[in-house]
A and B are shown apart, each in its own frame.
Chain A
């Protein structure tokens, strides 16, 4: 259980691993599912993308914030030529779906370098590498 600015993040579920492996793009983003609660009035789940390793990484990773029970939480995306394929095309819902069905199916995923790569099944991660970037104060 982790408290940030009065927000209680009760669940930190990992669901997806690398979706951009790449030589010309970022090292990749990891998708996390956060469940936020504030008092008894709000309970919400959001998916966020964070650079692998916890840092902001290469220049073509851009970050913004989204609200989770009123708390701003950092989420990042690949901001480059492959943005359309990775960000607009493969939605969090689709990645979540793939993570459920990929045991008996294989998928090729458009990567940043113009190739197709095998979709890797998510492996549960034990923690977000750098929880500090979840705190919206770093964006203020």
Chain B
């Protein structure tokens, strides 16, 4: 009985302490001034049509060039399976000049290329693709919805992982076959040309972070701090309990100066800053309980995160050293935070569409006049 009372007291004490920490984080968050981003439209991007769909995330390089993954208009090939839609990477420079990076047209020696990831740097754009080196057509049979037997042709050649390198003009420069002992899902490149890969062991699905030489071979594995990455890269089911039973948790690499940030999106795992020497610095943003990092907004200078679960602003500027929230932002002009491609020179770059064209928006942040003094609380979502 006495033991139960002591345990209960301990729980109360711990709960109070936890509540204090949570409340403290929210309180500090509210101390960060709130800004409102107002957008101005620029001249439509010439040379490309506005796509009906973008695949997030955006990419951005230090010169303010945004990289957009488009899903070109049109349907998918009919068949028994849904073929992944072709992705087309397009860069849009601050002057509005567009370049395309067509991986299927530039790699004639590969078949059925499927992009897994890409990473733009100041001089290079590298793609991680899965593809076959030959074409071995096999006729397969399936039963269609009307009950009839149908046939289709499929390339049954074994698929491998490749790295495709482009220059910033969109010209394919070289192709490397990857033969890592793990399955990579993210690729990044440092200014020296050394590569960073993140993926998982096919045996136990444990995350693997590795530096690769310029020829794609292993330089060394990196070991993040205990608890800073999930035990398994796989997640089971979404929050609603529906959907596929297992899927790969969303992650991203974002350029941060000469380093690369590893982000476990929509989670509470810290940001990992990986330097070119292989050192890893853990950045723990001070966020209230319930608020998670949705994704990063690439920036030429500071650290901006798009958050979920907060009603105290949707984008935070984070002090990369202390993790403190410096400023909070909300978007105006009906723009949504997810549509912000990057922050360059203090301006927020986004896109609209109009008359079939892609329209760049440049946003300026001004102190919000909105009454921002709602009582601090852990936001819910």
Q: Does B158 contact A (CB under 8 A)?
A: no
Among the listed stretches A55-63, A70-78, A99-107, A131-139, which one makes contact with chain B, having 4 or more residues with CB under 8 Å of it?
A99-107
The one of B53, B71, B82, B354 that contacts A100, using a Cβ cutoff of 8 Å: B82
| Closest chain A residue, CB of each to CB of B361 | A115
| A6 is an interface residue with CB less than 8 A from chain B | no
Interface centre among A114, A116, A119 (most CB of B within 10 A): A116
Question: Is B56 touching A108 in the complex (CB atoms < 8 A)?
Answer: yes
Closest to B335 in A: A115
Report the minimum CB–CB distance from B69 to chain A (whole Å): 9
In the complex, residue of chain B having the shortest beta-carbon distance to the beta carbon of A109: B53
Q: How far is the CB of B118 from chain A (nearest CB, A)?
A: 14
B74 at interface by CB-CB < 8 Å: yes
Give the size range of B's interface with the partner: 35 or more
Known: A103-B238, A116-B353. A108 touches B147 (CB 8 A): no
Q: Would B75 and A35 count as touching, CB distance under 8 A?
A: no
Alpha-carbon distance between A44 and B339 when the two chains are bound, in angstroms: 39
- Complex interface: chain B residues within 8 A of A109 (CB): 52-53
Residues of A within 8 A of B53 (CB): 89-90, 94, 98, 107-110, 119
**Measured between alpha carbons, how far is A137 from B250 in the docked complex, in Å?**
48
Please give the distance in Å from A4's CB to the nearest CB on chain B.
20
How many A residues, CB 8 Å from partner?
A: 38
Contact residues in B for A114 (Cβ distance below 8 Å): 352-354, 359
Q: Is B16 an interface residue (CB 8 A)?
A: no
Q: Let me know if A107 and B54 touch, CB within 8 A.
A: yes
Q: Across the interface, do A44 and B146 meet the contact criterion of CB distance under 8 Å? A: yes
The answer to whether A103 touches B336, judged by C-beta atoms less than 8 angstroms apart, is no
Q: How many A-B residue pairs have CB under 8 A?
A: 104
Whether A43 contacts B145 by the Cβ 8 Å rule is yes
A67 within 8 A of B: no
Residue of A84, A88, A97, A104 ringed by the most chain B CB atoms within 10 A: A104
Contact B52 A123 (CB under 8 A): no
Known contacts A118-B336, A118-B338; A84 and B356 CB within 8 A of each other: yes
Instruction: Say how far A86's CB is from chain B's closest CB, in angstroms.
Output: 7
B244: interface (CB < 8 Å): yes
Cβ–Cβ < 8 Å partners of A108 in chain B: 53-54, 56, 338-339
Q: Which residues of B contact A130 (CB under 8 A)?
A: none
- Write the A17-52 contact mask toward B (1 if CB under 8 angstroms, else 0): 000000100000000000100000011110000000
A91 within 8 A of partner (CB): yes
The distance from the CB of B133 to the nearest CB of chain A, in whole angstroms, is 26
The answer on a CB contact under 8 Å between B146 and A116 is: no
User: Is A43 within 8 A of B147, CB to CB?
Assistant: yes
Of the candidates A42, A91, A105, A110, which one forms a contact with B75 in the assembled complex, judged by CB atoms under 8 Å apart?
Answer: A91
B147 with A89: CB separation less than 8 A:
no
Interface residue from B76, B145, B339 paired with A35 (Cβ < 8 Å): B145
B309 to chain A, nearest CB (A): 15
* Complex interface: chain A residues within 8 A of B352 (CB): 114-116
A101 shortest CB reach to chain B, Å: 8
B230 contacts across to A, CB distance below 8 A: none
Partner of B76, one of A85, A89, A97: A97
B250, A104: Cβ atoms closer than 8 Å: yes
Q: How far is the CA of A40 from the CA of B202 in the complex (A)?
A: 46
B379 on the interface (CB 8 Å rule)?
A: no
Instruction: Report chain A residues within 8 Å CB of B334.
Output: 23, 113, 115
Query: 7 A-B residue contacts at CB 8 Å?
Result: A43-B146, A43-B147, A84-B356, A97-B85, A109-B53, A115-B339, A121-B238
- New A-B contacts (14) at CB < 8 Å, excluding given A93-B78, A105-B56: A23-B334, A43-B147, A44-B145, A89-B73, A89-B74, A93-B82, A97-B76, A107-B53, A107-B54, A108-B338, A115-B352, A115-B353, A116-B336, A116-B339
